[in-house]
Structure 1
Amino acid sequence: MTLPALAETAGLLAATGKGLLAMDESTGTCNRRFAAAGIAQTLAMRHAYRELLLTAPGLGECISGVILVDETVRQAQADGTPFVQIAQEAGLLVGIKVDTGAQDLAAHPGEKITEGLDGLRERLQGYAALGARFAKWRGVFAVDGRRLPSPACIDANAHALARYAALCQEAGLVPIVEPEVLMDGAHTQQRCQQVTEAVLRGVFAQLARQDVRLEALILKPNMVIAGLACPTQHSDAEVAEATLQCLRRVVPAAVPGIMFLSGGQSGRDASMRLNALHQRPGSPWPLSFSFARALQHPALDIWAGQDANRAAAQAALVHRARCNRAALSGEYDTAMETR
């Protein structure tokens, strides 16, 4: 795929008024969420749940693309219709998570390195043949008051993200570059901003070194938020101001779109902060969302593994997507939660 075609796909992903549904949880993560909801942790139940998400009526009104995992991208409905085709017919671009997870970073206790580069070129070619148009790779950064993340952790994950992105563009897939500064811990919002800026500087330096074309990628960062255990939590407006300041300092204007992850935020908090971001003028980039739990959680609880709850669960998913669509124009209000 040519660079203009990749840039066009990136623009479609970041389309005004739409975001991404990340349904790319690993088997282990999905099973843990099922266990918490009292759902059997089986392949059949994962298949049923992901089919429920993909076939939600009206999802394409608010969602531009879906991020799948290897298990899901190869699955089909009972009538043989591939999940990829179902997504495409709903107007959704298909993406695929291609990292193989975070492992301990040698000689750096408490830090992780994301793996999956071995054999990635061939895997990307296979996913493109299945109909994928974009891919995702996540690097994670733990934070404390002073020590973490180390320069070694930032360098290692930034290099992996850049090599992944270059391989994606070679294979004709738009890379979603996801450097996540984790919310776990008691660090302040100021410390989160300091670390996020350092991580993003490292990532864009490595992207340039690997000759990745910025106009053909999507950035998926965290918002600048104090750690969950920090005694001082900031208003939505303060989160928006710190986040935009951070991004303006570091992210090149050539990036066609920024789609925030939700991390450990509730669906309502994520929507409120996304809304606050769109009530502040002057962003050089389209700002949108690529949420997993913040979109799925109500639907999962309602479904509870029971087919009789399918329609209500799908309605809950689409409701959360519509809340976030409203936030993209600064029109979200918590009153929407009761409608």
Structure 2
Amino acid sequence: MASEMAAIAAQLVAPGKGLLAADESNRTIEKRFRSVGVESTEATRRDYRELLFTAPGMEQYISGVILFDETIRQATADGVPFPELLAAKGVLPGIKVDKGLVDLPFFPGERFTQGLDGLEERLEDYRQRGARFAKWRAVIAVSDRLPTLPALRANAEALARYAGLCQVHGLVPIVEPEVLMDGSHDIEACFQATEATQHELFEALARYRVAFEHLILKPNMVLAGADCPRQAGPEEVAEKTLQCLKRTVPAAVPGIAFLSGGQSDTTAAANLKAINQRAAQVGAPWPLTFSFSRALQAGPMAIWRGQAENRAAAQQAFLDRARLAAAAVAGG
């Protein structure tokens, strides 16, 4: 099982490829569909995900796809289950297994990810359905008083317990501790919050005896808050991000796949390109790739708008963005 997980982790961060995060909850995708005038139903969600997964040649740029619980149970119009469709393309199917966010009691403004109850049974079911890796997301807010240490530790503990259960069941865990872009904080505040978050995460993973060699880290880039008057350029983002990672992430981790976190497709690709260029200069020990959702999907969704006649154009827009992100992995 260990050798299989090592091979899966290596495939997820294969050179020139990254991950498509297509694991939006029904509530989240409803908001995104509404913004382009599409009603969110089981059928429209299936049609949209099929559009992405059947885009011709997407496997040239995408190594794995993170699915939602509904999506892993769906099939193409021709009846091919989505995990089977992806596997036939050489793309690894994965699954989001957390149950979303709740407020952390007595810590205003901070949240905790639920979903550990019943997780073992869900992991076994997902593996039988074809999943080969999983994902759990924690969110960390930043302000003049946040994050607090109890919130960091609560989320790190949950990520570690999830990761251990995944490895027991032969699934590679993606651990996603996202320091949010929401707010007016500067890049230094993001750096401090990200460093503290990742320190707590890897200490918890070690306590729970999780094998670093068989997991993928999905972190935020180190960025100023979306409302900060001064937004850092790609070179500063790259410098701060790599400085933070080198302080906190063990060299044994087989790869890092950055989330886009609300960045536009061009901004996310520009920052990823700069990060990989700097990584080549300073000798970072891990492959650095992407695990994007909105940065790959916002444009295609706006073109599609639920209309079958827009399908090919939407697929091309998706491929264009995937190609851009894949080029950034190579620093080009």
Same-fold call, TM > 0.5? yes
In structure 2, the residue matched to 1:81 is: 80
Match of residue 209, structure 1, among 203, 207, 210? 207
1:4 corresponds to:
3
Partner of 1:59: 58
SS of 1:279 mapped into structure 2: helix
3-state SS of the aligned residue for 1:56?
A: coil
Question: Within 1, Cα distance between the matches of 2:231 and 2:77?
Answer: 47
Deviations 1:228-254 (A, max 9, x none): 111111110000000000000110000
What does residue 304 of structure 1 align with? Answer: 305
Q: Tell me the SS of whatever aligns to 2:137.
A: strand
State the 1:278 CA deviation: 1.5
Q: Secondary structure at the match of 1:278?
A: helix
Matched, 1:46 2:41: no
C-alpha deviation, 1:78, in angstroms? 2.5
Name 1:336's counterpart in structure 2: none
SS in 1 for 2:14: coil
CA distance in 2, matches of 1:164, 1:329: 31
The whole-number CA distance in structure 2 between the counterparts of 1:115 and 1:312 is: 38
Classify the secondary structure of the residue corresponding to 2:277.
coil
Matching of residues 213-252 of structure 1 within 5 Å = 213-252=211-250
Separation of aligned partners in 2, 1:24 and 1:151:
29
TM-score for both structures, normalised by structure 2? 0.98
**Structure 1 residue 198 corresponds to structure 2 residue 187:** no
In structure 2, how many angstroms separate the alpha carbons of the residues matched to 1:71 and 1:41? 13
Percentage of matched positions with identical amino acids: 59
The count of corresponding residues between Structure 1 and Structure 2 is 329
Could you say which residue in structure 2 is the equivalent of 1:324? 325
Shift of 1:330: 1.4
- Residue aligning to 1:29: 28
Q: Distance in 2 between matches of 1:89 and 1:28?
A: 30
Corresponding residue to 1:182 among 177, 180, 183: 180
CA deviation string 1:225-281 (max 9, x = no partner): 000111111110000000000000110000000000000100000000001011112
Per-residue CA deviations over 1:102-141 (Å, capped at 9, x if unaligned) read 1000111111000000000010000000110000000000
Taking only aligned residues, the RMSD between alpha carbons, in angstroms, comes to 0.6
Amino acid at match of 1:311: A
State the shift of 1:60 in Å: 0.2
Point out where structure 1 has 5 or more consecutive residues left out of the alignment: 332-339
Runs of 4+ in 1 over 6 A off after TM superposition: none
Corresponding residue of 1:295:
296
TM-score (norm 1): 0.96
How far apart, CA to CA, are the structure 2 residues paired with 1:233 and 1:309? 35
Query: Counterpart of 2:162 in 1: which secondary structure?
Result: helix
Alignment of 1:85-104 (within 5 A): 85-104=84-103
Q: Which runs of 5+ in 2 are unaligned?
A: none
Partner of 2:203, secondary structure, is helix
Q: CA offsets, 1:165-186, max 9 Å, x none?
A: 0000001000000000000001
Tell me, in whole angstroms, the C-alpha distance in 1 between the residues paired with 2:60 and 2:20: 12
Deviations 1:208-237 (A, max 9, x none): 000000000000000000001111111100
- How far did residue 5 of structure 1 move? 1.4
